[in-house]
C-alpha cells in the first residue's frame, strides 16, 4: 500500500472534545509541567445550557494496598469478570490472581526478551485472551481461547491476530484494548526507526484498529489498512471516556511526553514534531510534560479523569478530561516506577509497579487504591 497520510489541522486543549465525541458516536522518552497552570483544586467547569453534563473528576483516596506481590516485570492487567490476568514481560508468562496468590495460566511461545521487548499488553473478550509479544519475527498480537473457570483457567491453542509489527530493544509500544465499538486497538512504537512513524506502509509508530480476528474494519481511515493513526513514537496507554473520546499517552524523546486525543486518520507528528509544534500538518497533544517527570505508560479513563501511570516520574498523574491542562499528581516517589493503571470491576484503581525493569528492585507488585470525586 502506497498511501499519503491525510493532513489534519492541529487541535490543542479540550475545547474540541465535545465535537470529537459526537463525531465518534456518529461514526460508530527515555522511556512537570502541564500546559497552563495546574491547580490541585481544579475542577471541571459547569456545563452550558444544552451541553451534556461533564463527568466529575475522580482521584485516589487513601493509601494503596497490595493485591499481589513477588512479581517479575509485570506489564499489563486485564479482567474477565472479577478474574485478573497479568502479563510478565521478562518471563513470557500470563498469571491469574487467585486470592492473594498468583498461578501461571500459560506462556506465549517464541517471546524474545531484551530491553523493552517481551510479553507486553494483554486484553480479554468473552472467549479469548489477547497478548502483544516481541518475537524473533517482530512484534505480533496473538490470542488464546480461555479455558476452564476462575482459579483453574488455562490457554488454548495460539492464533495470530496481527503480524509484521516492527520490533527492537526499545520503542515497541504494546498496549491492547477493546474500544466501545468492539474493535481491538493496538499501540505500536517506531522500533527505534523514526521513519516508520510517517510511513503509511509500516505498522510501526501507529495505533492500529482491527476486529477480534485481526481483519481490517471497512470504516478504517486507510482502506485495507489496520492503521488508525500515525506519527507516534512510543504510545503505551489508551482508553475511552463516556462520550467515546479516545485518549493516548506517548513517550517523547528528550523534550516532551504527550497526552493525545485520538482521531481516526490523524497524524501526530513524530519525528517532525515532539510535543506541541504548532504545525498545521499535525495534531498537537492536549497536554505535555518533561520526560524526567513523566514517561507515561498505561492509563485508565475513569469518570472525568485520565489516570496515567508514569515510569521515570514515579507517580500517578490525574488529568481532567474537561481541562487537560489541569492535572494533579499522587504517590510521587512512593512506589517506584509505575507501568500501568487499570480500573478494576469494583471501581478501584490498580497500579502496576515496574521496579524490576530499571529500578533495581527484586520484585514488583500490584496495588489497589479507592477512587473518589474531588
- DSSP code string of 231-279: --S-EEEEEE-TT--EEEEE--SSS-EEEEEE-TT-B--TTT-SS----
pLDDT band at 207 (very low <50, low <70, confident <90, very high): very high
User: Cβ distance 98 to 121 under 8 Å?
Assistant: no
Q: Which residues contact 346 (CB under 8 A, 6 or more apart)?
A: none
Whether pLDDT at 27 is above 70:
no
Give me the pLDDT at residue 231, please: 98
Report the mean per-residue pLDDT for the chain.
89
User: Cβ distance 350 to 307 under 8 Å?
Assistant: no
Give me the pLDDT at residue 50, please: 54
28-82 confidence digits (pLDDT tens): 333 333 322 233 323 333 444 555 577 899 999 999 999 999 999 999 999 999 9
Give me the pLDDT at residue 9, please: 36
Within a 10 A sphere around the Cβ of 47, how many other Cβ atoms?
12
Give me the pLDDT at residue 54, please: 76
Which residue is listed with cell 485508565?
300
The whole-number average pLDDT for the span 147-153 is: 97
CA distance 192 to 312: 19
Cα separations in angstroms, 303 against 32, 82, 166: 23, 20, 35
CA distance 338 to 364: 10
Query: Taking the CA of residue 260 as centre, how many other CA atoms within 13 Å lie in the half-sphere pointing to its CB?
Result: 37
307, containing H or E segment: strand 305-310
pLDDT band at 360 (very low <50, low <70, confident <90, very high): confident
Dihedral of the alpha carbons of 343, 324, 353, 142, in degrees to the nearest 10: 60
β-pair type (227-230, 101-107): unpaired
More confident residue, 302 or 31: 302
Q: In this prediction, what percent of the chain has a pLDDT beyond 70? A: 86
Q: What is the C-alpha end-to-end distance of the chain, expressed in Å?
A: 49
272-299 confidence digits (pLDDT tens): 999 999 999 999 999 999 999 999 999 9
Radius of gyration of the chain (CA): 19
Model's pTM, two decimal places?
0.88
CA distance 120 to 236: 10
Whether pLDDT at 112 is above 60:
yes
- Selection from 325, 317, 326 nearest residue 349 by Cα: 317
pLDDT band at 374 (very low <50, low <70, confident <90, very high): confident
Whether pLDDT at 7 is above 70:
no
226-268 confidence digits (pLDDT tens): 999 999 999 999 999 999 999 999 999 999 999 999 999 999 9
CA distance 96 to 143: 16
Whether pLDDT at 323 is above 90:
yes
- DSSP letter at 292? G
Give me the pLDDT at residue 52, please: 59
CA distance 289 to 308: 12
CA distance 145 to 50: 46
The whole-number average pLDDT for the span 174-178 is: 98
The whole-number average pLDDT for the span 157-178 is: 98
Cell numbers representing residue 221 in the block: 481511515
Give me the pLDDT at residue 45, please: 37
211-224 confidence digits (pLDDT tens): 999 999 999 999 99
Least confident of 35-39, 103-107, 315-319, 352-356: 35-39
Least confident of 39-53, 172-186, 286-300, 301-315: 39-53
Domains of the chain: 17-29+57-271+280-373 (2.120.10.30)
Amino acid at each position: 500500500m502506497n498511501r499519503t497520510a491525510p493532513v489534519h489541522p492541529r487541535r490543542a486543549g479540550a475545547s474540541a472534545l465535545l465535537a470529537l465525541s459526537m463525531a465518534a458516536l456518529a461514526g460508530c522518552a527515555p522511556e512537570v509541567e502541564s500546559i497552563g497552570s495546574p491547580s490541585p483544586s481544579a475542577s471541571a467547569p459547569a456545563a452550558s445550557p444544552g451541553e451534556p453534563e461533564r463527568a466529575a473528576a475522580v482521584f485516589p483516596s487513601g493509601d494503596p494496598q497490595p493485591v499481589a506481590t513477588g512479581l517479575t516485570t509485570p506489564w499489563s492487567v486485564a479482567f474477565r469478570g472479577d478474574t485478573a490476568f497479568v502479563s510478565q514481560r521478562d518471563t513470557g508468562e500470563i498469571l491469574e490472581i487467585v486470592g492473594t496468590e498468583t498461578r501461571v495460566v500459560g506462556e506465549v511461545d517464541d517471546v524474545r526478551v531484551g530491553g523493552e521487548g517481551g510479553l507486553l499488553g494483554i486484553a480479554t473478550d468473552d472467549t479469548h485472551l489477547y497478548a502483544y509479544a516481541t518475537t524473533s519475527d517482530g512484534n505480533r498480537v496473538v490470542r488464546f481461547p480461555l479455558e476452564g473457570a476462575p482459579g483453574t483457567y488455562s490457554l488454548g491453542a495460539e492464533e495470530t491476530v496481527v503480524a509484521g509489527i516492527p520490533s527492537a530493544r526499545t520503542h515497541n509500544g504494546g498496549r491492547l484494548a477493546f474500544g466501545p465499538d468492539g474493535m481491538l486497538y493496538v499501540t505500536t512504537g517506531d522500533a527505534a526507526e523514526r521513519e516508520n512513524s510517517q510511513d503509511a506502509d509500516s505498522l510501526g509508530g501507529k495505533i492500529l484498529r482491527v476486529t477480534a480476528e485481526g481483519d481490517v474494519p471497512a470504516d478504517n481511515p486507510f482502506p485495507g489498512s489496520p492503521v488508525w493513526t500515525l506519527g507516534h513514537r512510543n504510545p503505551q496507554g489508551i482508553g475511552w471516556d463516556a462520550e467515546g473520546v479516545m485518549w493516548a499517552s506517548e513517550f517523547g524523546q528528550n523534550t516532551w511526553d504527550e497526552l493525545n486525543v485520538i482521531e481516526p486518520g490523524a497524524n501526530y507528528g513524530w519525528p517532525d514534531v515532539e510535543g506541541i509544534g504548532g504545525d498545521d500538518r499535525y495534531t498537537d497533544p492536549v497536554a505535555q510534560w518533561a520526560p524526567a517527570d513523566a514517561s507515561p505508560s498505561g492509563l485508565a479513563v475513569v469518570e472525568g479523569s485520565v489516570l496515567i501511570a508514569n515510569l521515570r516520574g514515579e507517580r500517578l498523574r490525574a488529568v481532567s478530561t474537561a481541562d487537560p491542562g489541569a492535572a494533579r499528581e499522587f504517590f510521587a516517589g512512593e512506589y517506584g516506577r509505575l507501568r500501568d493503571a487499570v480500573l478494576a470491576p469494583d471501581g478501584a484503581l490498580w497500579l502496576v509497579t515496574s521496579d524490576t525493569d530499571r529500578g533495581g528492585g527484586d520484585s514488583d507488585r500490584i496495588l489497589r487504591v479507592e477512587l473518589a470525586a474531588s
